[in-house]
Amino acid sequence: MNTEEVLSIANRAVSQLTNKYLNDLQSELLKASYKNQTYEEFAQTHGYCIDYIKKDIGSKLWHLLSEALGEKVTKKNFKQALERSKQNGEIGIDISKSNNLRVKRKRYRDLGIAPDVSTFCGRDKELTTFKQWIIKDKCRVVAVLGMGGIGKTFLAAKLVEQIEDEFDFVIWCSLRNSPSLTSLLREVIDFLSNKRNKAADIKTLLKYLRSYRCLIVLDNLETILQPGNFAGNYRGGYEEYGDLLKLVEETCHQSCLVLTSREKSFEIASQEAKKSLVRSFNIGGSLEVAQAIVKWQALIGSEKQKQQM
């Protein structure tokens, strides 16, 4: 068996038991284990805590396969268990049709208030950087920073459009009207649970961030930050947002929180580094975007005048 066949057999067995497939992280761990990669190597490669991979993801994976295959399955014997299931004909496998079983998993989107980016232009360098951080480096928090009107929201919306297929859940939330943290959590958890969970606390949110690959966008973070000499700190009554950022930054999970803001919060400033899973990018002006605006507005003038403008 190769890795794709192993994944196909496991997915078929699990789907017959639960009517669901393995999630992305479980699938990656199964394939890595087939190649004899240790928990430590897997955790380091994917940017997760060893305890989270071993005691949470790994433990649940082998328990799930044990139930699906009807025998005790561990990291040491799962190859033999899957091979026996294949040989005994317990699980019908059509490799040609099941190599991409994960693609069939339901994906949920709530992007109703995200801006239309059908005419988006430029920012290729920034988009490449953000995709590297989120998809390859598995960053937990990414901040898009810049002055008002520079295009942070549109850049974040274009980024979501390009990477949304990598996530099970994608939701866009605006902080423009300064919602309380309880209100925000209720909105997000309501979406992630398909209205089955009425909780509105950070602990519940983290459970979903661990169980699923979620992309959450918080647009206009600066509306809940203190202006003036207290840059990076929160306005009165919004300090709990700092707790949210801190826990999302420091807790092991497989999701990503994208922020747009005119300024950097204290939690991001204190955590970000090149090798950290918390990063920010301060975007500046873009000549390509400016030239596109001139074209869209049908402004008249020489190339030199357009360049000066």
- pLDDT of 227-274, one tens digit each? 765 667 899 999 999 999 999 999 988 999 999 999 999 899 888 876
**Coil, strand or helix: which one is 217?**
strand
CA angle 212, 107, 120 (to 5 degrees): 110
Burial annotation 71-91 (CB, 10 A radius, 16+ → b, else e): eebebeebeebbeebbeeeeb
Distance (Å, rounded) from C-alpha 24 to C-alpha 213? 8
> Phi and psi for 109 in degrees, rounded to 5?
-130, 140
**Helix 3-18 vs helix 59-69: crossing angle, to nearest 10:** 70
- Band of pLDDT at residue 278, cut at 50, 70 and 90: very high
Give the pairing type, strands 256-261 and 278-282.
unpaired
Contact criterion met (CB below 8 Å) for 23 and 73: no
Q: What is the pLDDT of residue 291?
A: 62
Q: What is the pLDDT of residue 289?
A: 61
For the entire predicted model, the pTM comes to: 0.67
pLDDT value of position 273: 73
Tell me: the pLDDT tens digits for 143-153?
Answer: 999 998 888 99
* DSSP code for 281: E
Q: Where are the domains of the chain?
A: 3-104, 108-293
Residues in CB range of 250: below 8 A, 6 or more apart: 271
How would residue 287 be classed by pLDDT, with cut points 50, 70 and 90?
low
> Looking at the domain covering 108-293, what would its CATH class be?
alpha beta
- Whether residue 103 is predicted with pLDDT greater than 80 in this model: the reply is no
% pLDDT > 70, the chain: 87
93, 142, 224, 290, 291 from 286: Cα distances, Å: 52, 21, 27, 6, 9
- For residue 215, give both structure tokens: 């992309």
Task: Find tokens 């990018």 and name the residue.
Answer: 281
d(CA 69, CA 14): 8
The DSSP code sequence of 100-160 is: TGGGGS--EEE-TTSPP-TT----HHHHHHHHIIIIIS--SEEEEE-STTSSHHHHHHHHH
Helix axes 202-211, 181-192, angle to 10 degrees: 30
- Beta bridge pairs of residue 171: 110, 216
Look at residue 68 and tell me whether its pLDDT is greater than 70: yes
* Beta-carbon count within 10 A of 251 CB: 15
Please give the Cα distance from 130 to 213 (Å, whole number).
17
